[in-house]
A and B are shown apart, each in its own frame.
Chain A
Amino acid sequence: MDKSAFEERKTISAPMHASLRHDSAHKHVAGSADYIDDMPEPEGTLHAALGMSDRAHAEIVSMDLSAVRTAPGVVWVMTGADVPGHNDISPTGRHDEPVLAEGRVEFHGQPVFAVIAESREAARKAARLAKIEYRDLPHWTEVTDTLENGATLVTDPLTLSRGDADAALAASPRTISGEMRIGGQDHFYLEGHIALAIPGEDDDVTVWSSTQHPSEVQHMVGHALGVPSNAVTVQVRRMGGGFGGKETQSNQFAAIAAIAAKKLKRAVKFRPDRDEDMTTTGKRHDFLVAYETGFDEEGRIQAVKANYAARCGFSSDLSGPVTDRALFHADNAYFYPNVRLTSQPLKTNTVSNTAFRGFGGPQGMVGGERIIEEIAYALGKDPLEIRKANFYGEPGSDRVLTPYHQPVEDNIVARIVDELDHSSDYKARRRAIIDFNAKSRVIRKGIALTPVKFGISFTATWYNQAGALVHVYQDGSIHLNHGGTEMGQGLFTKVAQVLADAFQVDIATVKITATTTAKVPNTSATAASSGSDLNGMAAFDAARQIKERLVAFAAEKWGVSPDDVAFVPHHVRIGETLVPFADFIKQAYMARVQLSAAGFYKTPKIHWDRAKGMGSPFYYFAYGAAVSEVSIDTLTGEYQVDRVDILHDVGRSLNPAIDKGQVEGAFVQGMGWLTTEELWWDDKGRLRTHAPSTYKIPLASDRPKIFNVRLAEWSENAEPTIGRSKAVGEPPFMLAISVLEALSMAVASVADYRHCPRLDAPATPERVLMAVERLRGM
């Protein structure tokens, strides 16, 4: 018994809900946190580079790689024909995405061959020596061109409908229709893609891959090599950012590295250059939204009809679920009594677009918010008034059904918006801005308050499962492994907190280990904001199993009822006896108690019937709202974000410090997407914004001048999630819509707010200026 120690340390260092710092904090600041490129390379490691097409759409007539093969340092040149298994890395099994193109290329920059050489420089230089003869075919890179030229789809479209949108439109007192273009976004994870493949015995290969989805890399490498999954081990300790860009896009680099490593029996490292990375990996989907809405004089929506056409690129990748999620969020927080939403996942001759934080949801929501803005300008009202008039109703009311027929049962949007409306002094500031604009000639201001309601769960129901592996060693130290990946979001810290809390030990007792397919199999991507929800619960389940065995052991050994055994800080209390945790574990080991468990979790309740467009695809919703104030220069279109106030719902936060960081970071990234980050393809179909010199990401100087971020501390998840918390990765990204709309208001001021400026995204200074000029002429 050790009462004194217990008296001294009544708490543990980092239970759930504590603002614990990131688990790698001390290493990040000292440069000792290793990313894959920092790991010591195995002796004789070779390096890879891509040979890329310089045509957007063409047949390959001939390919002469002799100069590449004989270039200094080159060991092997690999083409699609050299892929021993399937030359295919289509993540949805549609067989539409080769590792290396054969016979035809479908976008400018498509990988056609790979060079393996003694050094990266040698490989890169040799890759430029190919002589490829092409026969050009017509190509379409823009959504509009594609629509005008007999658009084909990369995957099946989706329709969501409820009520009779056409009839309701015809019967509506007022109607508006319009179009909105929404640009894409490059992930620009600061650590680019990388794969390091190390060949093993027989058909074995180990791949260190910067991926959010180790299980899929495992499957794809196996598929390309023609070996079963049990031959392939994929590992990742941490990524320098992912944001969705490493969900499927890691497959290609991993597959090429693994094939070369097996063939050459040497380790192969593939770290593309930044330009190569930006050229050959998918981005956020651009959309063209065509909408039509009917409403009454109060601004109450009667009907919405919208088509979301997306630039998907040459293959399907994840475009099906991404465009689906766009439709799932076209309603944002608003009830549409009659609605018909359709998606159009277009095939274009561009790199295949992919997952990006929000996964289509942001684009869906931007379209929905444009409709609100249209109604507000048509009626001469504050858009916030229109928003409030259209929020989903209280549970049990007749205004809770989404376009996909799932009722919104945990609605807190009205409370969030009201609190923010007051705390930010929105109304008074809006009046002051209108006064200011009336007097100011050149500089105009705008302000907007926009809400977010974001559905949490993978819409592919089977992805909503997770595993964890927990070992307690004889000395009481704990080893944690789970299927989630760490990309800066603090997942590892949060899951470790769950375990520390379960065993009532200090966080330092829990060792967080690299994600590997060898420890936890069949995992889902760390995506859809689900990382903590799923992996936290799986770790909790593993702890539960071990604790149950320990309780049974203690009850038997000390002769007490299991109810009298409790895990208390650093100790186990058995009846009246307090045993230090490590001593207790040692005794359990001696008594042959199994101290290891594989935990598992699957999200309850959810189901989704895509063909019918009906179901409950989301376990719960996360909410938030932001007010942004901006100033624009009407002579140049330049602008700045003066102030942003955010109130965001993360349920009962597992770690408020990490969650607040996620909210701020997501907002800044969302702001970049909607303002300065513009992707641009030339008439040859070549991406010209393939480096940070031409692609403008928010900088420290772009951060809002005043930035007040609060978590809704009163919120608790209505569902029994881990610690009643809510997912945080994606939802706050969409808070940045308030910046776009504030810019729009500043533009609208030049025509006395009589016209909706129809400011498309990204609202670059050029686009702001053009909108100002257009409105001046109205």
Chain B
Amino acid sequence: MASPIHLELSRPQLLISSVVTSVVTGTAAEAATAQSPGAEMPQNSKVSMIVNDERHEIEVDNRTSLLDALREHLRLTGTKKGCDHGQCGACTVMVEGRRINSCLTLAVMHQGDEITTIEGLGEPGNLHPMQAAFVKHDGFQCGYCTPGQICSAVAVLEEIKAGIPSHVTSDITAAAPLTTTEIRERMSGNICRCGAYSNIMDAIVEVAGTRA
């Protein structure tokens, strides 16, 4: 059996480390985990991205996620790390207008891409309509999921407009309807542990101009 510990490494690390680690069979009274320490030194790369309309050139370890690049290299900490496993949506940003879990993609894959984070959508005093709607409807409690929810919500409305079907779209050949069911389904990749879903939906619905 593979050492269970391996599975706990976050995904980008796992991709790399599974190449170099040994698999150990543990028996009852034996050594727990062993792992070859001989990982070759990681390669660094230069990446140039346009983040929030500004061009940035950074040098990152090839295994650095886009999330870590944004948070740790560019100090754009508005994008949050909830799970680092692509399962909570807190790290949602927009790449070339489409939403993406930034923890699930490597920074080096985004050479030349245009990226919008929560900071790029708007700032206090000059909020994006979606941000303003979240304020108006109290679309949060602790606020940790909020940047991801807002980026996702902005992109969801675009997806619907572009006619991209979802799991609940009944006729995938027709334009996806702008219903609360559609929005709810499409927003289901963004966990809000505080359970502010009602207010989040109210905010999105207001911006979408649909009726609840």
* A699 proximal to B (CB < 8 A): yes
Q: Are A32 and B124 in contact (CB under 8 A)?
A: yes
A274 touches B83 (CB 8 A): yes
User: What 0/1 pattern do residues 30 to 67 of B give for CB contact below 8 A with A?
Assistant: 11111101010000000000000000000000000000
A665-699 with Cβ < 8 A to chain B: 665-669, 686, 690-693, 697-699
| Residues from chain B with Cβ under 8 Å of A4 in the complex | none
| Max chain B Cβ within 10 angstroms of own Cβ: one of A188, A189, A692, A698 | A692
**Which of B145-182 touch A at CB < 8 Å?**
145-147, 150
Residues from chain A with a CB closer than 8 A to the CB of B76 are 31
Roughly how many angstroms separate A445 CA and B67 CA in the complex, as a whole number?
44
Encode contact with B along A126-165: 1 for CB under 8 Å, 0 otherwise: 0011111111100000000000000000000000000000
Query: Chain A: interface residue count, which band?
Result: 35 or more
B29 at interface, CB cutoff 8 A: yes
From B78, B142, B143, B195, give the contact of A698 (CB < 8 A). Answer: B195
Assembled-state Cα–Cα distance A21/B21 (Å): 51
Q: Are A31 and B117 in contact (CB under 8 A)?
A: yes
A residues 213-250 near B (Cβ < 8 Å) are 238-241, 243
Report whether B32 and A131 are in contact in the complex, using a CB–CB cutoff of 8 Å.
Answer: yes
Q: How far is the CA of A71 from the CA of B87 in the complex (A)?
A: 30
Residues B8 and A276 in contact, CB atoms below 8 Å apart? yes
Partner of B33 from the list A130, A190, A489 (CB cut-off 8 Å) is A130
Residues of B contacting A697 in the complex (Cβ-Cβ under 8 angstroms): 191, 193
Q: Does A167 contact B (CB under 8 A)?
A: no
* Complex-state Cα separation, A667 to B135, whole angstroms: 22
Q: Are B39 and A125 in contact (CB under 8 A)?
A: yes
Once the chains are docked, how many angstroms separate the CA of A735 from the CA of B4? 38
Partner of B195, one of A33, A128, A274, A668: A668
Q: Is the interface of B mostly helix, strand, loop or mixed?
A: loop
Stretch at the interface among A446-454, A579-587, A617-625, A656-664: A656-664
Are A487 and B195 interface neighbours, CB within 8 A? no
Q: How large is the interface on B (under 10, 10 to 19, 20 to 34, 35 or more residues)?
A: 35 or more
Q: A26-B124, A132-B31, A190-B80 are in contact. Are A658 and B138 (CB under 8 A)?
A: yes
- Which of B87, B122, B145, B200 contacts A691 (CB under 8 A)? B87
Residues of A within 8 A of B75 (CB): 40
Q: Is the CB of A30 within 8 A of B78?
A: yes
Contact A692 B85 (CB under 8 A): yes
Q: Which residues of B contact A774 (CB under 8 A)?
A: none
Distance to closest chain A CB from B32 (angstroms)? 4
Q: B188's contact among A37, A192, A487, A701, by CB below 8 Å, is which?
A: A701
Q: In the docked arrangement, what's the CA distance between A135 and B32, Å? A: 11
The docked-state distance in angstroms from the alpha carbon of A276 to that of B135 is: 33
Q: Residue of B at shortest CB range from A275?
A: B8
Closest residue to A666 on the B side, CB-wise?
A: B195
The answer to whether A707 has its CB under 8 Å from any CB of chain B is yes
B13 touches A55 (CB 8 A): no
Q: Complex Cα distance A668/B200, Å?
A: 13
Query: Does B196 interact with chain A (Cβ within 8 Å)?
Result: yes
CB of B146 within 8 A of CB of A28, answer yes
Contact of B88 among A70, A275, A692 (CB under 8 A): A692
Cβ-defined partner of A692 (8 Å) among B30, B87, B131, B183: B87
> Which residues of A lie under 8 Å from residue B26 when comparing CB positions?
54
Q: Are B138 and A661 in contact (CB under 8 A)?
A: yes
For residue A590, CB closer than 8 A to chain B, the reply is: no
B81–chain A nearest beta-carbon distance, Å: 7
Tell whether, in the assembled complex, residue A700 and residue B190 are in contact, meaning their CB atoms are under 8 Å apart. yes
Q: Is B28 an interface residue (CB 8 A)?
A: yes
Nearest-CB residue, chain B, relative to A707 = B198
Binary contact readout B90-123 vs A (1 if CB under 8 angstroms, 0 otherwise): 1000000000000000000000000001110111
Task: Verify A665–B196 contact, CB threshold 8 A.
Answer: yes
- CA gap between A121 and B183 in the complex, in Å: 37
Interchain nearest-CB distance for B201 vs A (Å) = 7
Task: Say yes or no for A273: interface residue by CB 8 A criterion.
Answer: yes
Q: Which of B10, B88, B147 interacts with A273 by CB under 8 Å?
A: B10
Q: Which 3 pairs across A and B sit closest by C-beta, in order of nearness?
A: A31-B78, A488-B142, A240-B144
- 10 additional A-B pairs beyond A31-B118, A667-B195, A698-B197, beta carbons within 8 Å, are A22-B140, A32-B123, A37-B71, A54-B4, A187-B193, A189-B142, A190-B192, A275-B85, A662-B141, A703-B184
> What are 14 A-to-B residue pairs whose CB atoms are below 8 Å?
A25-B138, A26-B124, A29-B118, A29-B127, A31-B146, A124-B9, A128-B33, A128-B35, A238-B143, A279-B8, A488-B194, A665-B141, A691-B85, A699-B191
